[in-house]
């Protein structure tokens, strides 16, 4: 005899109407599994959306995984929601939904709203809680100023499972708490303002790096439970370090226990394979035109901001969402209603997402990984934009790496690759990324992309970083690049921390620390990060010598900086450089310093003289170090 599931609901009629209208942004408070008191008993309330089901039951250890014992009740309102209360079970209970579709399919599905998932390769959900006694109120109260568009943002991008591992057991992943104890002092040492975690949501296939998600509301059990991840985030916050999460609303895998054909129908994805299947990743694309799906996704974005106190979301693969013909051949896609290739439903979703995020959390940032020339990605929705706070500057990344790969003897023929970015740099609020995608299998480590002997490789990489940090825009650097990891990134092993025993690598780490310190302490490098008036070329046409010079400007003239790059391995003596003001110009950072593994060609200061040069009435005569970058500031 089946044991009845008691009739009970956390959902009001208003909740259901919002859900069906695509406007319920806190579904995680209602759907999934929740420990509640009902009729004098403690138990768990379950709610799941499965409109194509003829029967839904909860199975688990508590009933021997019997699909006939605990049948949920379908709501009378046509919403397709099944729900009910099961007494005498609680936190830690392992469960799945057994779904019988209207066409007779028998499906075993994990809970789309589960807060905890079993450790892969197991696939069941676990009744959990996100209750945590947070101790980061000081950070939260000040977060707006740290996340502001006119404040420094230097992001350390990292993959939790391959940043560090247990030295005594290289196969063992560190827990969230172990990572916290190691990561916080390291970020303080290196000076980054934020960390960005590759997706922490539960994913069945580890080599997907987290980008093929099945548990959108669950922190990956590979590293611990929800409270352990909260401990890590809190530890960073307590030291004024922001946390950004990679978030993936673009696609999901076809694993049998996941969202794909959840109730025997294409519930979360499009029925039409031309819209519903992603050819690059062999995954499935959310149906952004379905109201309930938009409610699910936007609720998920707000969930991480709410329950986990994260400070920003980097939205993955936005370009793949915006275009109906993305990675598709002729005949594999269809035009939108206006005859264009834009995915109008995805555009609407992204605008609604950003409006919801900034309405509820105006002090966070959303960042788009978007590689095309789509206009207004980081412009407000009220002016026709998509509403993101920032956008990755993919064109800058590719042009810059193409330039630096060239032997210096050939760089004069590629001079424009470093000047072209400033033509369009102010069309968006750009973040300059040197990300994980540039150092994966087959692409070589950043150090290995640099030409020349060992010394030249390190010098090239240091001056590349100085260029990146002194250009307009915010910054992102992938883990390992800060000490010049030699090998390509491998998600199955720790970074090569032993390299820091060698002077070139320890010198690189010292340089990054000093570069971050300079970036954070010089207002001209961040106050006008997205404004044309924050940047001025001094020398952009010296292709013969491969020398570049530019000014960075803050709100006050006294903060202005002069940046000079010499991108050949030749020391340039008596090199005259125009300056905007007379006086003493001091080197505040030189990538060629000996303690950075440079050659030590350092001149502490230069006196200007009244020789008209490069359009300025004043100039200085400099010594430019080989493959070196300089930041100079006029002495007050």
What residues are labeled active site?
A: 316, 369
| Residues with Cβ within 8 Å of residue 596, at least 6 apart in sequence | 462, 507, 508, 510, 511, 514
Cis-peptide, bond into residue 100, ω within 30° of zero: no
Task: Write out 168-207 in H/E/C secondary structure.
Answer: CCCCCECCHHHHHHHHHHHHHHHCCCEEEECCCEECCCHH
DSSP alpha helix (H) spans, 316-445: 318-322, 344-360, 394-405, 416-419, 421-424
CA distances from 590 to 85, 546, 624 (A): 66, 17, 10
Distance CA 633, CA 551 (A): 10
Pairwise CA distance, residues 261 & 106, whole Å? 12
Buried b (16+ CB within 10 A) or exposed e, 465-503: bbbbbbbbbbbbbbbbbbbbbbeebebeebbbeebeeee
- How far does CA 310 lie from the centroid of its chain? 11
Check if the beta carbon of residue 501 is closer than 8 Å to that of residue 521.
no
What distance in Å separates the CA atoms of residue 368 and residue 247, rounded to the nearest whole number? 10
C-alpha to C-alpha distance for 463 and 566, rounded to whole angstroms:
8
């Amino acid at each position: 005899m089946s044991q009845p599931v008691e009739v009970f609901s956390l959902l009001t009629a208003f909740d259901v109407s919002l859900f069906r209208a695509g406007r319920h942004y806190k579904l995680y408070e209602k759907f999934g599994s929740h420990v509640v008191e009902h009729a004098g008993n403690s138990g768990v309330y379950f709610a799941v959306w499965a409109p194509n089901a003829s029967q839904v039951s909860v199975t688990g250890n508590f009933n021997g995984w019997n699909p006939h014992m605990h049948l949920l009740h379908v709501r009378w309102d046509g919403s397709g929601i099944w729900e009910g209360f099961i007494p005498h079970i609680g936190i830690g209970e392992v469960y799945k939904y057994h779904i019988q579709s209207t066409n007779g399919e028998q499906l075993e599905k994990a809970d789309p709203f589960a807060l905890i998932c079993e450790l892969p390769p197991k696939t069941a959900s676990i009744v959990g809680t996100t209750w945590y006694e947070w101790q980061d109120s000081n950070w939260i109260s000040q977060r707006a100023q740290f996340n502001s568009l006119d404040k420094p943002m230097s992001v350390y991008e990292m993959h939790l499972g391959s940043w560090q591992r247990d030295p005594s057991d290289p196969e063992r992943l560190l827990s969230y708490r172990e990572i916290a104890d190691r990561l916080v002092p390291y970020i303080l040492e290196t000076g980054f303002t934020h960390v960005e975690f590759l997706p922490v949501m539960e994913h069945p296939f580890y080599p997907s790096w987290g980008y093929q998600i099945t548990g959108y509301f669950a922190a990956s059990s590979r590293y611990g439970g929800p409270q352990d991840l909260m401990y890590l985030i809190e530890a960073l916050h307590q030291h004024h370090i922001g946390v950004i999460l990679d978030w993936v609303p673009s696609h999901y895998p076809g694993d049998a226990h996941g969202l794909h054909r959840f109730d025997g129908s294409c519930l979360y994805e499009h029925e039409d394979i031309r819209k519903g299947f992603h050819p690059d990743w062999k995954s499935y694309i959310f149906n952004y035109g379905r109201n309930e799906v938009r409610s699910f996704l936007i609720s998920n974005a707000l969930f991480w901001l709410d329950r986990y106190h994260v400070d920003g979301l980097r939205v993955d693969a936005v370009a793949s969402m915006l275009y109906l013909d993305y990675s598709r051949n002729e005949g594999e896609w269809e035009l939108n209603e206006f005859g264009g290739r834009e995915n109008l439903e995805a555009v609407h979703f992204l605008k609604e997402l950003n409006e919801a995020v900034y309405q509820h959390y105006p002090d966070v940032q959303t960042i788009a990984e978007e590689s095309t020339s789509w206009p207004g990605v980081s412009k407000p929705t009220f002016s026709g934009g998509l509403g993101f706070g920032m956008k990755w500057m993919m064109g800058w990344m590719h042009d810059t790496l193409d330039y630096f790969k060239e032997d210096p003897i050939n760089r004069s023929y590629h001079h424009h690759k470093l000047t072209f970015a400033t033509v369009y740099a102010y069309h968006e609020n750009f973040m300059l990324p040197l990300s994980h995608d540039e150092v994966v299998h087959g692409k070589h480590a950043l150090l290995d992309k640099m030409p020349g002997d060992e010394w030249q490789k390190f010098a090239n990489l240091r001056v590349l970083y100085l260029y990146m940090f002194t250009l307009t825009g915010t910054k992102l650097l992938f883990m390992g690049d800060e000490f010049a990891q030699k090998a390509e990134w491998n998600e199955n092993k720790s970074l090569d921390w032993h390299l820091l025993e060698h002077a070139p690598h320890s010198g690189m780490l010292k340089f990054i620390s000093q570069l971050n310190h300079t970036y954070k302490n010089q207002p001209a490098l961040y106050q006008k990060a997205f404004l044309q008036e924050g940047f001025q070329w001094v020398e952009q046409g010296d292709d013969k010598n491969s020398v570049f010079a530019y000014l960075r400007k803050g709100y006050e003239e006294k903060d202005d900086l002069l940046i000079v790059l010499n991108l050949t391995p030749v020391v340039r003596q008596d090199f005259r450089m125009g300056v905007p003001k007379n006086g003493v110009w001091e080197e505040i950072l030189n990538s060629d310093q000996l303690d950075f593994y440079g050659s030590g060609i350092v001149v502490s200061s230069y006196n200007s003289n009244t020789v008209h040069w490069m359009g300025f009435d004043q100039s200085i005569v400099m010594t430019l170090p080989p493959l070196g970058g300089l930041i100079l500031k006029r002495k007050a």
